[in-house]
Structure 1
């Protein structure tokens, strides 16, 4: 089983600032996260699926 990703892991994977993830979350956008106590955690497979569904290729 893969480890859950932290906010910093997801920000690095997507190449966006942490604040962008917080803004997306407050608007109901962005990859799905779960709160474990006071911490946000992400399933890598769900982040990757969200990325694949929300990107367009550029040529």
Structure 2
């Protein structure tokens, strides 16, 4: 069986992107289908790639949205 090619530099394939985010890979499939989550792009007919910088930005945005606002003194 031929080995899969590596993703472009600075990118991850779907399963590796899911591990990076801490989710199951099917979550990324659903998010892509529903138009939510971090941006991705197709390479060829079957492969989807995610920029690591986009994954990190997505995590930071999710963290910021869940963090409580600072209290006024």
TM-score category by the smaller chain? 0.7 to 0.9
Match of 1:6 in 2: 13
Whose strand fraction is larger, Structure 1's or Structure 2's? 2
Greater length-normalized contact order (CA 8 Å, ≥ 6 residues apart): 1
**Greater radius of gyration (CA):** 2
Structure 1 stretches of at least 4 aligned residues deviating more than 2 Å after TM superposition: 55-58
- How many residues are matched? 57
User: CA separation in 2, counterparts of 1:45 and 1:3?
Assistant: 8
- Structure 2, unpaired ranges of 5+: 1-8, 69-73
TM-score (structure 1 length as normaliser): 0.82
Q: 34, 48, 56: which one pairs with 1:40?
A: 48
Distance 1:51 1:34 in 2: 18
Q: CA deviation at 1:5?
A: 0.6
**TM-score between both structures, scaled by the size of structure 2:** 0.68
